[in-house]
Structure 1
Amino acid sequence: MPAEVLSLRIVAVTMGILSLAALQAAGNDGYILNIYGNANLDGAIDEKDIEFLQNVIDGNIKATYLSDANVDGAIDRNDIERIIEIINGTEPEITVIDGVNVSVTIKKPVGRIIVEYLDNAQIVQMMGKTSKIVGVENSITKMEELFPEMSKLASVGPMTKDPDYEKILSLNPDLLLVFDEKMTSEKTKKLPGVSVLFAGFPFSDLMNADTSSYADGIRKIGYILDERETAEEYLDWYLDKIERLKMKTSRLDENQRPRVLFGSYPRADSKTFRTYSKIDVLAQEVSLAGGNNIAEDLSEFNVSFGDLRGNPLLYRIDLDSEWVIKQDPDYILLHYPYITYGGEIIPDLPNGYTIDDPSGLKIARENFMSRPEYANLKAVKSGNVYIFSGDLRNELTRGLIGSVYLSKILHPDIFPDLDPEAVHDEYLKNFLDLDYSLDEHGVFVYPPIVKGPGALAGVPDRYYDLVVEDAVPGSR
C-alpha cells in the first residue's frame, strides 16, 4: 500500500479507539514475528501495527517489546513512520531478534553478503539473491553440484574455530549469515560494521513448525532481503508437507510405532553411540515419521532450546553401547556429513549432493552390521540399519526431506503413495531453481527405497542391481 494511503489510515485511527480485545486477538495463533515494528506481536508487519502503535501513543494500551520500530528508546510517531517504511520496503535499516534472542540491526538495502554452510547459502539462493553474495564459508566451495555459482566465489575459509577476519573484512560485506550460534558474539566483535545474524534455522522444531524459530528465521530473511512473498511461498509448501506427515503418524497407536535409535555413525573402536536430544532435527524426524526414540525417557533428552544458551553442546547425548544393546531398537539410523561445516571431507562416508556412487555407504553399513557386539540386535538381524546423508540434516529444509524418507521406511503401509524423491525434487527445482536429477545424482539414504523395477529413491537409479539386495522388503 502506498505511503500516502497509510498516512490517511493513521489519521483515521486517531479519530477512534480500537478494541483492546481485537488488538490482542491479532497474535493469538502463538507465532510472533520477531522484528521491531511488529508492535501487536502477530506474524507480520502491517496496518494493524500502525493502529496498535497509535493507541500506544494515545495512552490507550501499553507498548510491547517490539513497539519501538526504529529502536531509539522512545515510542512516538517516528516509529509509525518506520513501520510504514517497512511495509513499503523503503526502510533504511531493520532490527530483528536473532535465533538466540539478540537484537541485530541490518542496514538496507543489503548489497553484499557472506554465507556459512548449506542452510544460509540455500536461503539466499532461494530468495534469488545469489548475485549479492561476495564470499562463502569453505564448505560451499566444495559443493558445485548444489551451488553452481556460489561455489566459484571467494572462500573466507573455515568459520568454525579461527575465522580469517581480515579476509572477511576485505570483502566489505554488509551481512554475515552464520550457521553456528556459538561464535556469533565473537564474530560481531571482530567484524565492525558488519551485521552478523544467526537466523535460527537449526531450531526447526518439526512438531511445532509453524511457531518455530526456524519459520521465524525464514520470514526475517524475507524482510531483510525484500522477498517476503518468496519466504511465505516456501513456508506454505514446507508446513503443508509437515502437516501431511503429522496427519497420518499422529494417529498411530503406541504399539504401531517402532523403537528407533538415530545417531552419528560410530567409529570402529567406539564403545558409545552419539544420539541427540529432542531439540535436534534427527530426534524430531523420528517423532514426525511415527517412531519412538529409545532415548526419549532419558533426562538429557528433554532439554529446551533455551538451555543451549548456557551449554551450546547440550543437544548431544553419548550412549553406552551396552545400554543400546539392552534397549534393542527395531531400527538403527546412522548419520554423518561428508562435507562438514568448515569444509572437512569425511572420506569413509561419501554421501550427499556431490556423490553419485553408493558403494561407500554400502561398505560402511556392512562394517557396522558385522561388528560382533551388535550381531543379535533386532535392527541388525532384520536389516533395518540405514545411513542418512548429513546434507539432509544441515540443508535449509532442516529435517523435512529426511522425515519424508524416514516415514516411507518406517510406515510404507500408511504412506503407499508417498514418493520421497518427488518431494525432494520439488524443493530443488521449485525453490532452489536447480537442474539436478535425483535419478542420476546424489546419495542420501542407504539402503535406498525401491520404487519399482529399476527405480530407487535415495541413490541414483543406475545402481539398482548393486543395492537392491540390501533394500528392506517393507520399503518396497
Structure 2
Amino acid sequence: MDKKIVIVLVVAVVAVAAIATAVLLMNGGEKEPTYEYNGRLPIFGNANDDDYINNDDVQFIQDIIDGKITGSRVVSVLLKYDDGSTVNRSLADANADGTVDSKDVELVKKMVKREHGIKINYINVDNVLSTCNYPLTSIGLAYKTVYELAAAAGLTSEEVKWVCDSVGDVPGKGELRQWYPQFWDAKCFGNRATPDYESMVGDMPSCIITGTKRYYVKTGEETLGSRGVDIIRLPTYEDGWAVPGMLMLGYLTDNEDKAKKYVDMADSVYKTIAKYVENIPMMDRPFVFASHNASAVVDYKNGYLEPVVLAGASTAIDRGYPKGNVDAETIKQMDPEWILLQPWHGLLEQTDGSVTDTFIWDLKKLYEDDMKSIQAIDHTNAYYNGKVLMDTQGVRMGAASFILTAYIANHIYPGVFNFDVEKLYKDYMTAYHPGVDADAWFEYTYFDLEFADKKYKELIN
C-alpha cells in the first residue's frame, strides 16, 4: 500500500500578483502559516499558482525544465509520509512523482484540454496529497459547506446522485433540505459522518465530496476507495474561506465559468481588505474575540476565525491565548476590542419554524444561556462600547462567508471600508437561492448588540 503523504509546510511561494491569501491575512507575515498551502487552486499542475489550469502552466513547466525558471519562483511543498520521512514536491510536478519533466508537460496539456479519464493530484482540506478522476460525474455530497459550493457551481441532481440525511428526504432529518431543492432527486446514504456504504452497493457514485476526515466520512478512503470511489475532501479551510474549494470544484466539474463568477464576487471583498491590511502587523490589527457562545477560544480550521482574520482582525489565538474553554473573567482580562457571537440557526441552517420564530429561538439562547453568550461578555469593555456583532452559522461557514467578512470589516475599520453588505447578500441569494425570501432573512442574519437588545426587550415585554 502506498504511504499516505501529508503536506506540512510551504517552502516557496511563486512571485506572481495575487490576492493575499487567508494565511497571509491571518499571520501578517509574523508567524508560521496555519495552512501549509497558501495559494488558491491547490491542484498539482497549476505550476504558476494562479486560479487556472491553462497553457501558461504548460509553458511554466517547460521553462522549469529548460532552467529558465528557478528558485523562489517555483512553488514547492514539503510532504511528510506517515512514517515521518519527508520529500519536496513542486506544483509543477503534475503527476506528483518527484520529478518535473516532460511527463508533467504532457499531463498538463491533457488537463488544459480537459481530457476525460486523467488522474488529478491535489491538496485536500486536511493537507493530504490526494488523487481523483477527472471529470467528476456521479457525485455524492456529505457535508453542509459542499452543498453550498455545489449549488454555486451550478450542479443539480443530474450530477449529484447521493446526499446525506441533512438534505435527503428522511423522516426526522433533512434539516438543510429546504435550501437545496436542486438535489431533491438524489438518493440518501444516511449520516454525513458515517454513511451507510451498503446502501450504495449497485449504484456507487464515482466520488463523494466532503470535509475534513476528523468529522466526515471518516472511513471513506478505506471503505470506498477500494471500490473506485474518490473521497474528495474539498479545501474550504474549514470553512471560512471557500475560494480554493470553489476553484477546484469548478475545474473538476467543468463549471469554471460559474466558479469564477462566485470567486469574482468574493474577491470584491477579499482583495479590497487584503490590499489595505497587508502591511499592518498582526498585533496592530483590531482584536476580535469570535466564539459561538463566548465559552471557548477556538483555533483555526473551525470556521469561526477565518472570516474574522480575512476582515483584517487579529484573534485570541494570534495574541497567544490557548484554545480551550474560557470563563467570563478570562474574556474580560483579554479585553478584546470587538466580540463576535455566532448562534447556530438562521439562514442556510436548520430552522424549526418561521424566520421570526427562528430568530426568537436564537435570541433566547443569546440572552438566557447561563454564563454563556451575552451573560459571558456583559462586563467587558466591548459590551459597554456596543462593539458586539452577531451572525449565524449558515453564513459564517462556506461560500457565503465573504459577506460576513465584509460586515465585520465595515465595523472594525470604520471610515475605511463601506461594503454594501445588503447588496452583496441579495446578489448572492438571487444567484444561488432564488426561491428564498432573502428580504425576510437579512436583518436577522447580520446584526449588532443594539439590534439584539431592542428585539430581546420587545420579546420579554
Contact 1:115–1:133 under 8 Å retained in 2: yes
Match of 1:133 in 2: 160
Match of 1:157 in 2: 190
Kindly state the Cα deviation for residue 278 of structure 1 after the two structures are TM-superposed.
4.9
Q: Which has the higher contact order (CA 8 A, sep 6+)?
A: 2
Match of 2:249 in 1: 221
**1:385-424 correspondence runs (5 A):** 385-397=388-400, 399-411=401-413, 413-415=415-417, 417-424=418-425
Q: 1:387 to 1:169 in 2, by over 3 A?
A: farther
Deviations 1:15-53 (A, max 9, x none): xxxxxxxxx977576747433334555553333443455
Deviations 1:371-423 (A, max 9, x none): 877553334445544432111222324x31222222344455544x5332211
Query: Normalising by the residue count of structure 1, what TM-score does the alignment of the two structures yield?
Result: 0.68
Kindly state the Cα deviation for residue 99 of structure 1 after the two structures are TM-superposed.
2.6
Q: 1:72 to 1:295 in 2, by over 3 A?
A: closer
Q: 2-side partners of 1:37 and 1:291: how far apart? A: 33
Q: 2-side partners of 1:368 and 1:123: how far apart? A: 33
Contact 1:139–1:339 under 8 Å retained in 2: no
Moved more, 118-127 or 97-106: 97-106
Q: 1:324 to 1:226 in 2, by over 3 A?
A: same
Match of 1:146 in 2: 179
More helix by share: 1
Kindly state the Cα deviation for residue 177 of structure 1 after the two structures are TM-superposed.
0.7
Q: 2-side partners of 1:367 and 1:175: how far apart? A: 44
Q: 1:178 to 1:412 in 2, by over 3 A?
A: same
Identity %: 20
Contact 1:285–1:402 under 8 Å retained in 2: yes
**1:4-403 correspondence runs (5 A):** 31=39, 33-39=41-47, 43-54=51-62, 65-67=90-92, 69-70=94-95, 79-97=104-122, 98-130=124-156, 131-140=158-167, 141-151=174-184, 153-160=186-193, 162-182=194-214, 186-191=219-224, 192-203=227-238, 214-246=242-274, 259-265=287-293, 273-278=295-300, 280-289=302-311, 291-294=313-316, 296-298=318-320, 300=322, 316-338=323-345, 357-368=358-369, 375-382=378-385, 384-397=387-400, 399-403=401-405
Kindly state the Cα deviation for residue 255 of structure 1 after the two structures are TM-superposed.
11
Which residue type is aligned with residue 108 of structure 2? Answer: I
Deviations 1:337-391 (A, max 9, x none): 23999x9x697xx89xx77642222222332598877553334445544432111
Which residue type is aligned with residue 165 of structure 1? Answer: Y
Contact 1:134–1:171 under 8 Å retained in 2: no
Q: 2-side partners of 1:196 and 1:143: how far apart? A: 22
Which residue type is aligned with residue 339 of structure 2? Answer: I
Which residue type is aligned with residue 378 of structure 1? Answer: N
Which residue type is aligned with residue 135 of structure 1? Answer: W
Which residue type is aligned with residue 136 of structure 1? Answer: V
Kindly state the Cα deviation for residue 164 of structure 1 after the two structures are TM-superposed.
1.5
Q: 1:355 to 1:81 in 2, by over 3 A?
A: farther
1:200 alignment partner, SS class: coil
Q: 2-side partners of 1:60 and 1:90: how far apart? A: 28
Gaps of 5+ in 1: 1-23, 207-213, 267-272, 301-315, 451-458, 471-476
Q: 2-side partners of 1:330 and 1:125: how far apart? A: 36
Match of 2:426 in 1: 425
Contact 2:206–2:230 under 8 Å retained in 1: yes
